[in-house]
Amino acid sequence: INNHISPHKLTLSGTLRSPKINFHPPFLMLMPVPLDVESEGVVTIIPQEQSRIRLKLPELELADGTRTCPFAVQFPEGQDIVLSSDGTAKELICRISFRSSKPMSFLGEMLFIDQEEN
């Protein structure tokens, strides 16, 4: 003030919480089915933070070179993670289904992504 510089010290503290989601079961194995028959599994998402979840599905390449995504996903109760008054998040149900008119198998990852791209 009045052209005098007086030192001020500002101390900040906080807790960095990284996003975290747990899954039950930790992996999903869909049963083999005849062509054009749907196979479905259910995953429970157990979130630790409030967010909105989306799923990036893999695109598969068939023997003839065409690409397809034989998976479908439904969140029957919505994709928004909501925290309760005690700070806990409600579990989300995710239904993942597979159907193909051509023979194929897949072993890989499906990416669950929050609104901040984590």
Reported as a single tens digit per residue, the pLDDT across 6-60 is 676 777 776 655 667 888 998 888 889 999 999 999 999 887 776 778 888 888 8
| Structural domain span for residue 76 | 21-113
Q: Catalogue the E-assigned strands of 18-117.
A: 21-24, 39-47, 51-52, 54-56, 60-61, 67-68, 71-74, 80-81, 92-98, 111-113
Give the model's confidence band at 4: pLDDT under 50 very low, under 70 low, under 90 confident, else very high. low
Please say if the pLDDT value at position 95 is more than 80.
Answer: yes
118 within a domain of the structure (yes/no): no
97, 76, 88, 116: CA torsion to nearest 10: 70
pLDDT of residue 19: 63
Contact predicate 110/41, CB 8 Å: no
14 within a domain of the structure (yes/no): no
- The total domain count for the chain is 1
60 within a domain of the structure (yes/no): yes
Among 1-5, 83-87, 101-105, 114-118, the range with the most confident prediction by mean pLDDT is: 101-105
